[in-house]
A and B are shown apart, each in its own frame.
Chain A
Amino acid sequence: MNRIPLSVLAACGVLASLPATAAGDDLKALRDEIAQMKQTYEQRIAALESRLVQTEAKAGNAEVSARQASVAASQKPTSESAFNPAISLILAGTYTRLSQDPNAYAIGGFVPTGGEVGPPRRSFGLGESELGIAANISPALRGQLTLALPPEGGAEVEEAFVQTLGFGQGTTIKAGRFLSGIGYMNGQHAHVWDFADAPLAYKAVLGGQLRNDGVQVKWIAPTDLLVELGAEAASGGAFPSTDRNKNGATLGALFAHVGGDTGPSGSWRAGLSVLGTSPREREYDGTDSTGTDVTNAFSGRSRTWIADAVWKQDFAHDRNLTVQGEYFRRRETGDLTYDTGGVSLGTATDSFRSSQSGFYAQTVYQFMPHWRAGYRYDRLDSGNANIGGALSPADFPLLAAYKPKRNTVMVDYSPDEFSRWRLQLARDQSRPDATDNQLWLQYVVSLGAHGAHAY
């Protein structure tokens, strides 16, 4: 930049010292001389500039290495405990007021699942504590254990699996016990749900949540739009399957999810899943037409389809909206056995066919930082079970056609990322004969390692 002004300046100086009489050859000689001087100056300036650049670069390097040295020096010394896995703990508790007895909870028209689907005990209650331990095992594997600690004591392995880390080509393989990838909410732990309890459809169709002991393979397509395909094979055991004591899988699931962005601050995901299993002697307890407690059992095929969709939109300054819904359709065909123990009118078996459906739709709006409000609508349709002639429908009052529904509202406050306080009101018409007005006060807090949450 300063090359030209300098040489011009030099030339001016020479010109100024010229005697006025100079002309002809003298002038030419002078011009040559000036040109030479200019060249010399330019060369020297260029040399200086290149030296300057080199010096600057060296200084820059020195700066970088000095900073790096200080970064390296500040690293903590390693210790034996440095490889301890990440430990996280979820604590939860409720206070509930229920207008109906939670012990008599049932979802009208649907086979009881044997899962913990009813509301918690009245008054103060401890929720399930959840202990999570996770770490990388090797560059290729990660392991995770989630223990649920019910308030009545004991421990339950909620999840325990190993998962490949970057198997390649978008593939991930999971083995062990894990939450199935079907639907949208099934893969989420209860403590991240937007409401204190699961939608009725999950309670009636999956007995809460589907957990598999088996293998899951998931593949992500090489596209900018998320296309995720997954398959699971499992041994079954819990509702809707039963333990079959046979080689090979007794439960299979397939799912596909598609997702992307809507503009710079919105995102969505939609999916379709199917779950198939063949339960044998899947028992449930109920009363019959005489009012006697009997055990009935189903053997046959059970297939469930789930369509799910979620849309999330962020607005400026920590306000956001989530809208989600899932639709379930279950078809079961096989044989139903009445009174397996023969304690009432005598054991009888005949064909059974049912086609049932249900959905929930919910929206949660964070209207100011830390505060959210939400509404959820639940609806199920039991359909009319088709029971063979050897059986009397009156002996299966729990399976009498009914359309349970529920309206739920909630407000929650999360003063920080690790705690949440929630008030939830629900009008639950799961039971044909009674409406349960429910009030929940709930806290959910997380301690220890800061886990990442799924979408």
Chain B
Amino acid sequence: MRILMFLLVGLLALPAQAGLKIFATVPEWGALAKEIGGDKADVFVATNGLQDPHHIQARPSLIARTRDADLVVATGAELEIGWLPLVQRESGNPRIQPGQSGYFEAARQVRMLEMPSRLDRADGDVHAAGNPHIQTDPRNFLLVGAALAARMAELAPADATTYAANWKSFAERWRAALTRWERQATPLRGLSIAVQHKAFPYLQDWLGLQEVATLEPKPGVEPSVAHLGKLLAQVAANPPKLVMRAAYQSPQAAEWFGREAQVPVVVVPFTVGGSDRARDLFGLFDDTVERLLAVPR
């Protein structure tokens, strides 16, 4: 019965699904575009919350979906460099090429952290424009969302009022949620943590977490047991209170380190779809904050 209802609603909703065709590279921007677009946007998300955003293939369906997209929403800062440029070129779609208004980069809207002072792959897989994982700081969504709402309004003037109203409503709820999360997370301020990959500088910046160790010797380079052992000795005097990894990452290194250092491993969803509770943007940070708070301090 329920399925039937869904089908019916889906069928009825089909003709109304006009508006912008949006192609989002990662779930967080897909979720944000859905909040702003409402039923006036058709949002396709290229990846799911459990995929490593650094290793995405330019698979056939992505080329097919960009062919007709009005707007591609990407993180930028070289996060999608391994596949998106190719998909854009293959799409035969002039609207979404770099430099056109149909191509939007979230990282251009926020203050970037960890901008390398030198560019050398001896430092691992560094990104020239700074650390691209900007979605771990919820404050960034206000900046990205405002710019995205404006861009969407520019591309579909007929739906501009809807986008503006949806954005206003989202931003209000988001500000209220921000206050709530910040209040809840007060006890986390100054907490020393270890991270598997340098994926959380924005989260650390927001909550005032103190990163004392990174398990990966260089960004994108898998830690060896020898390296982890050395790291363990280094932090022995002042061990971190927890070791954090993103849901998409392989668990071995963090678990080994957690076991040896006798600290809990916290798996944070990292993006929408990274955990059962992170079904939308609010759930993403509800879950992240709660998982961090659940660790005994």
Contacts and interface: CB of A to CB of B under 8 A. Distances in A.
A228 B82 CA distance: 22
Interface string A401-419: 0000000000000011110
Interface of chain A: mostly helix, strand, loop or mixed: mixed
Contacts of B82: 417, 450, 452-453
B61 A224 contact: yes
Contacts, number: 157
A64 B58 contact: no
A289 to B, nearest CB: 51
A366 to B, nearest CB: 10
A165 B97 contact: yes
B93 A170 contact: yes
A452 B84 contact: yes
Contacts of A166: 88, 91-97, 100
A415 B222 contact: yes
Contacts of A60: 142, 146, 171, 175
A172 B222 CA distance: 39
A318 B55 contact: yes
A407 B59 CA distance: 28
A417 B220 contact: yes
B57 interface: yes
B201 to A, nearest CB: 16
A222 B68 contact: yes
A318 B52 contact: yes
A220 B221 contact: no
Nearest to B56: A314
Interface in A126-142: 136, 139-140, 142
Interface in A400-455: 415-418, 447, 450, 452-455
B110 to A, nearest CB: 7
Contacts of B85: 452
A220 B60 CA distance: 11
Contacts of B115: 74
A71 interface: yes
Nearest to B94: A166
Nearest to B96: A166
A415 B222 CA distance: 7
Interface in B241-256: 248-251
Contact of A415 (B50, B221, B251): B221
B92 A267 contact: no
Given A139-B99, A264-B48, A172 B108 contact: no
A71 B110 contact: yes
A71 B84 contact: no
Contact of B112 (A74, A167, A368, A454): A74
B109 interface: yes
B59 A267 contact: yes
A71 B111 contact: yes
A432 to B, nearest CB: 40
Interface in A21-68: 56, 60, 63-64, 67-68
A269 B95 contact: no
A372 interface: no
Interface in B148-174: 171
Contacts of A164: 92
A60 to B, nearest CB: 7
B81 A450 contact: yes
A167 B67 CA distance: 11
Contact of B60 (A267, A316, A369, A415): A267
Contacts of B248: 317
A163 B97 CA distance: 13
Contacts of B65: 224
A370 interface: yes
Interface in B64-96: 64-65, 67-68, 78, 81-96
Interface of B: 48, 50-52, 54-55, 57-61, 63-65, 67-68, 78, 81-100, 108-112, 115, 121, 124-125, 142-143, 146, 171, 175, 218, 220-222, 248-251
Ranked 5 nearest A-B pairs via Cβ: A259-B60, A166-B94, A317-B250, A226-B60, A452-B86
14 contacts: A64-B146, A67-B109, A74-B115, A139-B97, A170-B92, A226-B64, A260-B64, A268-B60, A318-B55, A368-B250, A416-B124, A447-B121, A452-B81, A453-B82
